[in-house]
Copies of this chain bind each other. A is one copy, B any other.
Amino acid sequence: MGNHNLTSIEQPIAEFKVGVDNVIFSVDTQQNRLLILLVKRKKAPFANFFSLPGTLVKAGESLEDAAYRILSEKIEVDNLYLEQLYTFGEPGRDPRENQDIFGERYLSVSYFALVRYEDTHLITKGNPQAVWHLLNDSPKLAFDHNRILDYGYQRLKNKLEYSPIAFKVLPEVFTLNDLYQFYTTVLGENFSDYSNFRARLLKLGFLTDTGLKVSRGAGRPAALYRFDEEAFAVLQDKPLVFI
């Protein structure tokens, strides 16, 4: 069972402030880059460190509302997927707890988001501003945010394997190669070759050919497909690809 503190019998009930921190991913399909949204802190603690975009939950606001509020303060985006990730709350995880004479605690409920990169605009006014970072080249973050980021990346890979979240952020119509590039930039190139990826996805039967074709430079034009939500419904929780 491990070493757990079971001795705090006479401790009072703790008072908490609750923060929401967002792990916001985006896939730049032009350059095959997996990006993460970070903000640079201006104030202590961890001044000048990068951190995940976060906020404290306000009165009357749900956790998910707070998560959407952070998003809308940093970026303009219409197409996204968002879900709760994990709640971090050990005593001492936030240095502000030590400075608070009332012994108040800080809890972090983290959310995971995947947003469309192409028609998303960073909001440049406001303070601090948010910037995209390469996930592979992300810096040491404030608080325990590196841990939250790692947790979020695991969730992203898992979700991509089992859920159709890619279609929330891909354009309305897309080629099978677009889809393959999306998967490879997130998962790495060792999960399937293109030909077998095509065959598998098409056999699953939730991609409908629009009849349209698109030519991008040299080579045969590619068919444009559309995600059919209704056709997907029947295969809930079946893996889409194998890593």
Contact = CB atoms under 8 A, between A and B. Distances in A.
Interface of A: 1, 4-6, 8, 11-18, 56-65, 68-69, 72, 78, 80, 84, 86-87, 89-91, 103, 105, 107, 109
A90 B60 CA distance: 8
A13 B61 CA distance: 10
Given A5-B61, A13-B56, A87-B109, 15 more contacts: A4-B64, A4-B65, A5-B62, A6-B72, A11-B59, A11-B60, A13-B58, A14-B58, A16-B16, A16-B18, A16-B107, A59-B105, A62-B89, A62-B90, A62-B91
What's the number of copies of this chain in the assembled complex?
Answer: 2
Contacts of A57: 13-14, 16, 89, 105
Contacts of A15: 15-17
24 contacts: A4-B68, A5-B62, A6-B65, A6-B68, A8-B58, A8-B60, A11-B58, A11-B60, A11-B61, A12-B58, A13-B56, A13-B58, A13-B59, A14-B17, A14-B59, A14-B61, A16-B16, A18-B105, A57-B105, A61-B91, A63-B90, A87-B87, A89-B109, A107-B107
B13 A17 contact: yes
A78 B78 CA distance: 49
Nearest to A69: B6
Nearest 10 pairs between A and B by C-beta? Answer: A11-B58, A16-B16, A62-B90, A14-B59, A87-B87, A63-B89, A4-B68, A13-B56, A11-B59, A5-B65
A4 B71 CA distance: 12
Given A61-B91, A68-B6, A16 B13 contact: no
B1 A61 contact: no
Contacts of A91: 59-62
A8 B55 CA distance: 13
A95 to B, nearest CB: 16
